[in-house]
């Protein structure tokens, strides 16, 4: 990763689209990955009417559409569904949160913190100047989110107390839930003062210490987060603490077809997009959960935790990316279907050495060279 950014951050959003080889790419921020059925239906309609018929789930729990024919019409549609609450802050509403919080496991329910943080970010005019790569993290204590190395985060230590996390490092500073959002915002404002041209706090020389100093806190931390990011999404039948059922569903390459999204919306239950490019459907009774599996599994939602597709990720590749040296997704599909994957376990197929979309953790790289693929083992 470069440590000095010579160009302004051009991370795409719903208003500032990226012009790729296959047309405009628009990204919709979903703080905490949260989607209502109405919002999911809106995105499905937009993907079908204005895009290529699919939604791509991202490693930050967001959604993006490719080949958008009319970006202005797209922005108007999602705004009508409450998915574009702020034109000035829409690219900086990057909030990852433990997807199962409040329903299964964890030491704290951080769902309300997601809403409070999102509202506070939008209300702070200075934070509109944050780079689009900035990432806030809220971990409910189970350790699934802190290991993803956000810029400013909270890690629950009890139901009401959280530790401050900076650039993926646990600090020694504890904060009560009532004061936690303001501390995160203050840290983000401090980053604006020290960042120079850098896009992430981890790129700033002595960034953690300088941020703590700006906050009036002692420059102490316990070192890098000792949490390894989860290798796979949580898949299958999950029992919620209230007796209802949640379902975790994976997707090949994180691609959600518009028709499948429509069926998901028709279930009329809360949906969360996870950082592992999967979805969770919540608050189902057992009969409804059985019907969801019966109908949606044949449509492409993966409920088998042993599916090889859960180990394979890929960048867009050709023809969507002009820098790609191969149609990596087609090649990866062939390898899976013929049981000829080049390595066992997690692997990321990429059209060039940039390896866009590569997940964190121990992952083998399968990189197109223009003359076949080069494999870099995970343990290199």
Does the residue 328 lie in any domain?
Answer: yes
201: containing domain: 95-224
224, 249, 276: which is the final residue of a domain? 224
224, 255, 286: which is the final residue of a domain? 224
Q: Is residue 217 domain-shared with residue 321, that is, in the same domain?
A: no
Q: Is residue 207 domain-shared with residue 107, that is, in the same domain?
A: yes
Q: Average the pLDDT over each of 210-219, 235-244, 266-275 and give the range with the smallest value.
A: 210-219
Helix and strand numbers (H, E) in the chain are 8, 20
187, 206, 224: which is the final residue of a domain? 224
| pLDDT tens string 303-359 | 999 999 999 989 989 988 889 999 999 999 999 999 999 999 999 999 999 998 888
User: What percentage of the chain exceeds 70 in pLDDT?
Assistant: 94
What's the rounded Cα separation, in Å, for the pair 19 and 58?
18
Which SS3 state, helix, strand or coil, does residue 165 take? strand
Q: Is residue 204 domain-shared with residue 316, that is, in the same domain?
A: no
For 127, the token pair is 């934070």
Structure confidence at residue 3 (pLDDT): 45
228 versus 297: the higher-pLDDT residue is: 297
Instruction: Say which CATH number the domain at 117 has.
Output: 3.30.413.10
Does the residue 295 lie in any domain?
Answer: no
pLDDT of residue 90 exceeding 60, the answer is yes
Q: Is residue 211 domain-shared with residue 314, that is, in the same domain?
A: no
In the chain, % helix, strand, coil (3-state, to 5) comes to 30, 25, 45
* C-beta of residue 103 within 8 angstroms of C-beta of residue 284: no
| pLDDT tens string 10-45 | 789 999 999 988 899 999 999 999 999 999 999 999
| pLDDT tens string 135-161 | 999 999 999 999 898 999 999 999 999
Instruction: Count how many domains the chain has.
Output: 2
pLDDT band with cut points at 50, 70 and 90 for residue 225: low
Does the residue 216 lie in any domain?
Answer: yes
What's the rounded Cα separation, in Å, for the pair 23 and 111?
35
Please name the residue that has the structure tokens 């202005």: 72
Average pLDDT on 354-375 reads 90
* C-beta of residue 26 within 8 angstroms of C-beta of residue 54: no
DSSP string, 187-210: HHHHHHHH-TT-SSGGGSTTHHHH
Q: Which conformational region is residue 200 in: left (phi greater than 0), alpha (psi within -120 to 50 degrees), or beta?
A: beta
pLDDT of residue 226 exceeding 80, the answer is no
Respond yes or no on whether the N-terminal peptide bond of residue 319 is cis (omega within 30° of 0): yes
Residue 123 burial (10 A CB sphere; 0-12, 13-18, 19+): exposed
Does the residue 329 lie in any domain?
Answer: yes
* C-beta of residue 377 within 8 angstroms of C-beta of residue 363: no
pLDDT band with cut points at 50, 70 and 90 for residue 227: low
- Measured between its terminal Cα atoms, the distance across the chain in Å is 18
Average pLDDT on 57-86 reads 96
* C-beta of residue 272 within 8 angstroms of C-beta of residue 35: yes
Give 171-179 contacts, CB < 8 A, sequence gap 24+: 171/208, 171/212, 171/217, 171/220, 171/221, 171/222, 172/218, 172/220, 172/221, 172/222, 173/212, 173/217, 173/220, 177/108, 177/113
Please name the residue that has the structure tokens 């969360």: 272
Task: Cite the beta strand spans of 4-112 per DSSP E.
Answer: 18-20, 23-28, 34-35, 54-57, 63-68, 95-97
Q: Which residues pair with 273 in a beta bridge?
A: 279
pLDDT of residue 2 exceeding 50, the answer is no
Does the residue 322 lie in any domain?
Answer: yes
**What is the b/e burial string over 214-240, where b = at least 16 CB atoms within 10 angstroms of the residue's CB?**
bbebeeebeeebebebbebbbbbebee
Does the residue 336 lie in any domain?
Answer: yes
Which SS3 state, helix, strand or coil, does residue 220 take? coil
Structure confidence at residue 4 (pLDDT): 45
Residue 205 burial (10 A CB sphere; 0-12, 13-18, 19+): exposed
Which SS3 state, helix, strand or coil, does residue 353 take? coil
Average pLDDT on 203-229 reads 79
For 254, the token pair is 């994180």
Average pLDDT on 219-232 reads 60
What's the rounded Cα separation, in Å, for the pair 367 and 351?
6
Does the residue 290 lie in any domain?
Answer: no
Does the residue 204 lie in any domain?
Answer: yes
pLDDT of residue 86 exceeding 90, the answer is yes
């Amino acid at each position: 990763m470069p440590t000095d950014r010579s160009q302004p951050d051009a991370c795409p959003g719903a208003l500032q689209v990226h012009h790729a080889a296959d047309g405009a790419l628009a990204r919709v921020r979903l703080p905490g990955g949260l989607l209502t059925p109405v919002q999911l239906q809106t995105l499905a309609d937009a993907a079908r009417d204005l895009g290529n018929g699919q939604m791509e789930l991202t490693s930050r729990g967001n959604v993006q559409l490719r080949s958008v024919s009319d970006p202005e019409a797209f922005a108007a549609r999602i705004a009508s569904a409450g998915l574009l609450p702020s034109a000035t802050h829409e690219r900086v509403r990057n909030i990852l949160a433990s997807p199962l919080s409040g329903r299964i496991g964890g030491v704290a329910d951080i769902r309300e913190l997601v809403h409070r943080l999102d509202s506070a970010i939008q209300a702070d005019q200075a934070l509109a100047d944050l780079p689009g790569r900035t990432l806030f993290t809220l971990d409910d204590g189970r350790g699934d989110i802190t290991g993803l190395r956000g810029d400013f985060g909270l890690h629950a230590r009890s139901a009401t107390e959280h530790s401050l996390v900076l650039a993926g490092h646990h600090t020694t500073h504890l904060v009560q839930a009532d004061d936690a959002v303001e501390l995160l915002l203050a840290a983000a404002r401090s980053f604006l003062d020290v960042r120079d041209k850098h896009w992430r706090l981890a790129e700033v020389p002595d960034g953690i210490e300088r941020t703590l100093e700006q906050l009036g806190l002692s420059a102490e931390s316990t070192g890098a987060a000792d949490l390894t990011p989860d290798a796979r999404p949580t898949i299958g039948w999950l029992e919620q603490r209230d007796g209802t059922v949640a379902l975790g569903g994976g997707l090949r390459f994180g691609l959600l077809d518009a028709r499948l999204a429509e069926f998901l919306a028709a279930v009329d239950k809360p949906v969360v997009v996870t950082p592992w490019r999967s979805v969770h459907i919540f608050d189902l009774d057992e009969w409804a959960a059985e019907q969801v599996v019966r109908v949606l599994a044949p449509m492409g939602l993966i409920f088998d935790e042993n599916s090889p597709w859960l180990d394979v990720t890929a960048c867009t590749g050709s023809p969507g990316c002009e820098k790609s040296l191969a149609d990596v997704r087609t090649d990866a599909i062939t390898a899976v279907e013929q049981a000829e994957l080049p390595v066992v376990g997690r692997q990321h197929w990429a059209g060039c050495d940039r390896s866009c979309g590569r997940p964190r953790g121990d992952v083998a790289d399968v990189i197109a060279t223009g003359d076949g693929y080069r494999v870099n083992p995970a343990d290199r």
